Structures are given as C-alpha cells and as structure tokens.
Structure 1
Amino acid sequence: MISLGAIVGIYQFNNESVQGNHIYIMMKELQKFLVDDAVLWQQKNIFLGCHSTRMICESVEEDLPNCYNARLLAITADTEVANRNELFDSLEINRLKRASLRDSELILLAYQKWGEELPRYLVGDFAFMIWDGKEQKLFGARDYSGTRPIYYFHDQKHFAFCTLIQPLLLLPFVDKSFNEVWIADFFLGSPDGSDSINPSSTIYKNIIQVPPSHTISVCDGLVKVKKYSHFINR
C-alpha cells in the first residue's frame, strides 16, 4: 500500500508565535492517512510539518562553493527527485555521501547554490517549502506536471499551506466561503469544451493553489507566485 505524503505549515506575519492548537489540529488531521513518519519543527512565528516524507532543519555551514552566509534553513518536502546524479555533479557532492543524502537535503543544498532559481534544475515530482531564516522568507515550488499540490490561505496576519485542503479548513482564521465562479466553471464548462477554470483557484474562494511549474515566495506579508521554466543542459 502506498502511503500519502503531506506537508503543512503556518507563518505568522505579525511575529507572534504560532498557536499550539493550530499546529495540533493540522497535524492531527493528517493522522487519518497511512504514514511512515511524522515530524514538526517550529521557531516562534514559523511552523513546518510533514507526514511520510522527511523534514530537516539545520544551521547551514560554509563548506560548499557559491553558498550564502551561514543561516538557519528548514525544509518540508514531499518529493521524488529523478535527476539526483545530475544534481550531485552540479553541486560537487562527495560520492561517499550521495547514497545517504535524502531528497529534501539535496533540495536544500541546491537552494543554497541557486536560490529561487532552484526549481528550474529539478526533475521529478515535488512540492516543498523552505524557511530561510536569514531572509525571513518562506519559499516553495510545485513540479512541472502538478503531481503534488500546494494549497494555501493568507490574510494580513497568517499564511498557512498544505498539500491537502482539509487541514486548512480546520484553522479558525481561514475563510471557508465557497468560490461560486469555480463551481460555475466546473459544472458548466466553456462553450468550446476547453478547461476554463483558473489553475490557481479552488472550490473555496480564499484557498488558493500554486499552479504547476510555479514557485511561491512569502516575505514581509507579501505573497508572490511566479512561473518557472526548466533549465536545459545541452
């Protein structure tokens, strides 16, 4: 039986601590699904969690070329990276360390080198969110095919995300109004038979999804979603 991987998180824009009960209800909702592991990480106004896939957090050392100054980085990810060997070579990773390096760790190392350009170099199925402590920024991406979703809600105080919608609906600050435009498009469709539904919209008016092959950056209360194209190594 295949287990469901899921990632969750909350970022408080007002620098207040993430409430423990909000963390609890999101993680508890994921217990309905078969998982291999469940991990959570928190630093005052930021919380990251995952089920099934590993999450790591570390103070990054200055031992790689082209890396930034030492800072606290954390990642939660649901990934199957298909071009690991190519990334190993590009990042000049010691061959003795390659077999034991998890996908989430590999993505974090790639972020140190390429920053927000990182998703262009990834091949495979992935949804991840990285907390960059130095920049006080949350950055994530969804793969080209959209195999793994990322749903999110934000207002003036909160940003919350998950690869499933239901945990977001349990948060008291999330507006649960239905999206009448989405519902109409879903049932009526477009006259020419094409898909007219906005790829970022969902059945809930204020719960949005990151479209396939897009990144999301959350900093200083601002949420930016941007399309990326794959880097072709010729």
Structure 2
Amino acid sequence: MSAIAGIFHRDHCPLQPQQLEEMIQALAHRGPQGCHSWLQGSIGLGHCLLWTTPESIHETLPLQQETLVITADVRLDNRPDLIDQLDLQDPDLSQLTDSQLILAAYQRWGKSCPAYLLGDFAFALWDGKQQQLFCARDHFGVKPFFLSCHRGAVCFCHGNQSPVNSARGSQSLKPSESWRLSHLNAL
C-alpha cells in the first residue's frame, strides 16, 4: 500500500516545506519506489509510492494536470467501465493510471466522482481553480484516512496517524481532533 499525506492552511499562510517533508518521511517506509511532494503556497501534497498494478509503474504522484493536483493510493476495479463512461480515447490505455482516471472522473462529475469509482482508494485532490481540497476514500473503508483540523490547518494522511501528529507538532491527537472517516467532503 502506498501512502499519502498533505497539509492545507485554510488561512492561506504559506506552508513551510519542512512541515510536509516531515510527514512524508514518517511514511517513507511505505514507498519503496520513492517519495515525492508538491507544494504551492498554502497547500502541499505528498506521496510514497508502492507499485501495485501494471499501470502504476507509469505513475509519479502527486500528479498535476492544469489546475488539479492529486495524490492517491488507489486500485480501481472498474477501469474498463470507467474508461467507457468517460469516453476516453487515449491511444495507449494500458499506460493510463488509476490516478489519471480519478482526475478525469472529477473533471466530469465533480465531487460526485467517488460514486463512480469501484475499488480500494484514498485520495486528496487540490482544485486550484476552486481553491478547494477534496478528499475521499473507498466505500468500504479499506483504505484508512486520518484528518486533523487544528489552528486553521488541515492535515491528512492515510494508514498512520503519526504524520498528522508530526505536522501539528503534538504527541497525540484527541478523539475530537482526528476522525477515521468513511467519506470526506470538500474542505
């Protein structure tokens, strides 16, 4: 399982790169194919990659397409149906990654896109045009997702709470500050 993490300062204060890097380093053991980050102003997304599908070997995350940026741990089980529904005409669909499919689904269906996805997934998507962070996970909660809102900052990771704690500079989260969610809406 790959690992994802990120921080968004809702008050638009610039994000310090070391905050994001500390979160990513805490998850590095989950990414034997490498860890990468994307940072712009008050938002930063990180990813520690583990190849789990044939398409994932073509992937580098976080992935930016125009004003959208995604980090995801994903395995979609309905790729052919989704490609048909999205009417994608890519010449080499074997290299189309699951994260690219999620971006295309978001462009088509917006925040309703998780309803069209079948499989195991947890993702965070930054919509630069809307200035919104959208997060979701699979319908059965196979991919855990932790979120913390503290002092105007939204911190998230999946699979391990310690990066959220690290980003906040605290030893532990109180139950009222962190939730294991089955569905997340836009923040």
TM-score (normalised: structure 1):
0.71
Counterparts of 1:56-135 in structure 2, within 5 Å, are: 56-59=63-66, 72-94=67-89, 96-135=91-130
1:210 equivalent among 178, 181, 184: 181
| Ranges in structure 1 where 5+ consecutive residues have no aligned partner | 60-71, 179-203, 219-234
Note the aligned Cα RMSD (angstroms): 1.7
Matched, 1:22 2:29: no
TM-score (norm. length: structure 2) = 0.87
What's the offset of the Cα at 1:31?
2.0
Q: State the 1:157 CA deviation.
A: 1.4
Give the Cα separation in 2 of the matches to 1:137 and 1:208.
20
% identical equivalent positions? 32
Counterpart residue number, 2:163: 167
For residue 24 of structure 1, report the CA deviation from its aligned partner.
Answer: 1.9
Deviations 1:115-166 (A, max 9, x none): 0110110000000111000100000111011110110100341000000211
* 8 Å contact kept, 1:176–1:206: no
**Partner SS state of residue 121, structure 2:** strand
- Structure 1 contact 7–49 (Cα < 8 Å) conserved: yes
Q: State whether residues 176 and 205 of structure 1, in contact with CA within 8 Å, keep that contact through their aligned partners in structure 2.
A: no
Residue 229 of structure 1 is matched in structure 2 by: none
Aligned length: 176
1:11 Cα deviation (Å)?
0.2
Does the CA contact (< 8 Å) of 1:13 and 1:156 recur in 2?
A: no
Q: Is the 8 A contact 2:30 2:49 kept in 1?
A: no
The unaligned stretches of length 5 or more in structure 2 are 51-59
Q: Could you tell me how far apart the structure 2 residues matched to 1:177 and 1:123 are?
A: 31
Decide whether the 8 Å contact of 2:70 with 2:125 is kept in 1: yes
Runs of 4+ deviating beyond 6 Å: none
The higher-RCO structure (CA 8 Å, 6+ apart) is 2
* Deviation for aligned residue 1:174: 5.0
